[in-house]
């Protein structure tokens, strides 16, 4: 099988995997903006396909199954990153009240940002895999839900100082792992 038929087969396979992932990532945003996720799902899939194949497939080639992430998991992260990028900016947000041509972007423009974010998520996942269930719950409360140390401590029967100590240890471990991973990654891939 030549390169062109393989690329076509890969594109068709990805086009089957991406729509449900895009719809799932759009659901929370659709509730917030009171819009149907279906109205944006096709656009997200097209944008993600462009990002995956831009620069001769740079983002897609960054997936390494030996690191424990399935293709579906990798695609979910790319879709999540794209959706976050869309709604983070009032200029790019497709569901803001007034649309202008300013939200159009060149495909592949932010592939370095995607790869960097994927790398950070991988490091985070390594850290959380080493955490106990209690540690993962603390992480969720502090870093994902952005709750105060007092609130998290109250929920988990801990003092505020104990929560701060856990957070400090977690950040130190993250810093060490990021430094170790950075040294292991060849130049030009992050």
Instruction: Tell whether 185 and 97 lie within a shared domain.
Output: no
Give me the domain span that covers residue 26. Answer: 1-109
Task: Return the closest-CA partner of residue 125 out of 79, 167, 63, 68.
Answer: 68
Instruction: State the pLDDT at residue 128.
Output: 81
Instruction: State the pLDDT at residue 104.
Output: 38
Q: pLDDT per residue over 66-108, tens digit each?
A: 877 788 888 888 888 888 888 776 666 777 754 444 433 433 4
Instruction: Tell whether 97 and 180 lie within a shared domain.
Output: no
Q: Is residue 78 part of a domain?
A: yes
Q: Is residue 115 part of a domain?
A: no
The whole-number average pLDDT for the span 24-29 is 82
Instruction: Tell whether 98 and 154 lie within a shared domain.
Output: no
Instruction: State the pLDDT at residue 41.
Output: 86
Q: pLDDT per residue over 131-187, tens digit each?
A: 888 998 898 888 777 788 999 999 999 999 999 999 999 888 888 877 776 665 544
Q: Is residue 185 part of a domain?
A: yes
Instruction: State the pLDDT at residue 112.
Output: 62
Q: pLDDT per residue over 97-143, tens digit each?
A: 544 444 334 334 455 666 666 677 777 778 888 888 899 889 888 87
Q: Is residue 125 part of a domain?
A: no
Does the model's pTM come out above 0.85? Answer: no
Instruction: Tell whether 3 and 75 lie within a shared domain.
Output: yes
Instruction: Tell whether 153 and 188 lie within a shared domain.
Output: yes
How many other CB atoms are found less than 10 A from the CB of residue 38? Answer: 12
How many structural domains does the chain have? 2
Instruction: Tell whether 73 and 104 lie within a shared domain.
Output: yes
Q: Is the pLDDT of residue 7 over 60?
A: yes
Characterize 128-142 residue by residue with b for buried, 16 or more Cβ atoms within 10 angstroms of its Cβ, and e for exposed.
eeeeeeeeeebbebb
CA pseudo-torsion sign 77, 78, 83, 87: positive
Q: Is residue 124 part of a domain?
A: no
Q: pLDDT per residue over 46-66, tens digit each?
A: 888 888 888 888 888 888 888
Instruction: Tell whether 100 and 139 lie within a shared domain.
Output: no
- Compare 158 and 1 and report the one with higher pLDDT: 158
């Amino acid at each position: 099988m030549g390169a062109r038929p393989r690329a076509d087969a890969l594109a068709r396979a990805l086009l089957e995997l991406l729509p449900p992932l895009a719809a799932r990532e759009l659901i929370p945003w659709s509730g917030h903006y009171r819009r149907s996720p279906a109205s944006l799902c096709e656009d997200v899939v097209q944008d993600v396909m462009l990002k995956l194949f831009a620069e001769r497939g740079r983002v897609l080639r960054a997936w390494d199954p030996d690191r424990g992430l399935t293709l579906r998991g990798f695609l979910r992260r790319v879709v999540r990153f794209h959706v976050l990028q869309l709604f983070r900016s009032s200029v790019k947000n497709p569901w803001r009240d007034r649309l202008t041509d300013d939200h159009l972007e060149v495909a592949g423009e932010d592939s370095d940002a995607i790869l960097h974010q994927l790398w950070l998520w991988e490091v985070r996942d390594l850290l959380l895999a080493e955490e106990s269930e209690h540690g993962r719950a603390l992480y969720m409360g502090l870093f994902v839900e952005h709750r105060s140390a007092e609130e998290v401590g109250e929920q988990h029967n801990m003092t505020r100082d104990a929560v701060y100590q856990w957070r400090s240890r977690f950040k130190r471990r993250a810093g060490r792992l990021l430094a170790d991973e950075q040294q292991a990654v060849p130049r030009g891939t992050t």
